[in-house]
C-alpha cells in the first residue's frame, strides 16, 4: 500500500488591521494555493472582520508541502489588491486536526491581521499499482501489489 494524504482546510474568519478610510467599502476574499495545485477561493465578504466558514479539500498532499493563504480586497474603484498573506508549512506529514490563527503580513512584512482556519490532514491508504501484463490472449493481472 502506498500512503497518500488529504488536506481539508476550513477558512473561518479574518481580523484585519487596516484603516477604515483606506478600505471604506471593503470586499474581501481569500485565495488558497497548495504547491502546484489549482488555487481555491472563498466567496467575497464585506468588512474588516469577514466570516466565511468555507471548506476546501486538497486530495494529494506531498511531503514538505505548504499552503499559502492570501487575503485580497476589491472595491468598486480598484482592481484586486493584496492585503496580506501567510504560509503554513507541513514539516512532517501525519494525521492531525488543528485550529490555528495565522498572522497575515503585507508585502513589506508588516502585520496586517490574522486568519482563523481549521486544518485536517489525514492519511489514506492507496493500493500500489497492480502488475499488469499484456499477452496475445488479452490482459492478465499477476496479482502482485
SS3 breakdown of the chain: % helix, strand, coil, rounded to 5? 0, 60, 40
What are all long-range contacts of 76-79, with beta carbons under 8 Å and residues at least 24 apart?
Answer: 76/25
Residue 23 pLDDT greater than 60, yes or no = no
For residue 62, what is its C-alpha cell?
Answer: 506531498
- Could you list the residue range(s) of the whole structural domain that residue 45 is in? 2-141
For residue 31, the model assigns a pLDDT of: 96
Cell 468555507 sits at which residue? 54
Q: Grade residue 18 by pLDDT with cuts at 50, 70 and 90.
A: confident
CATH at residue 24 = 2.60.40.150
Q: Which residues pair with 14 in a beta bridge?
A: 115
How many domains does the chain divide into? 1
**What pTM does this model have?**
0.77
**11-25, 38-52, 66-80: range with highest mean pLDDT:** 38-52
Q: Which residues pair with 54 in a beta bridge?
A: 11
For residue 63, the model assigns a pLDDT of: 65
Amino acid at each position: 500500500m502506498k500512503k497518500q494524504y488529504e488536506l481539508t482546510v476550513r477558512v473561518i474568519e479574518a481580523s484585519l488591521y487596516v484603516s477604515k478610510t483606506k478600505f471604506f467599502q471593503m470586499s474581501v476574499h481569500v485565495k488558497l494555493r497548495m504547491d502546484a495545485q489549482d488555487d481555491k477561493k472563498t466567496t467575497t465578504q464585506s468588512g474588516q472582520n469577514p466570516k466565511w466558514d468555507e471548506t476546501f479539500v486538497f486530495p494529494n498532499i506531498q511531503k514538505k508541502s505548504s499552503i499559502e493563504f492570501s487575503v485580497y480586497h476589491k472595491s468598486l474603484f480598484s482592481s484586486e489588491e493584496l492585503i496580506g498573506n501567510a504560509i503554513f508549512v507541513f514539516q512532517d506529514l501525519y494525521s492531525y486536526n488543528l485550529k490555528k490563527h495565522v498572522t497575515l503580513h503585507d508585502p513589506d512584512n508588516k502585520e496586517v491581521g490574522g486568519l482563523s482556519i481549521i486544518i485536517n490532514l489525514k492519511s489514506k491508504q492507496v493500493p500500489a499499482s497492480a502488475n499488469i501484463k499484456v499477452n496475445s490472449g488479452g490482459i492478465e493481472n499477476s496479482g502482485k501489489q
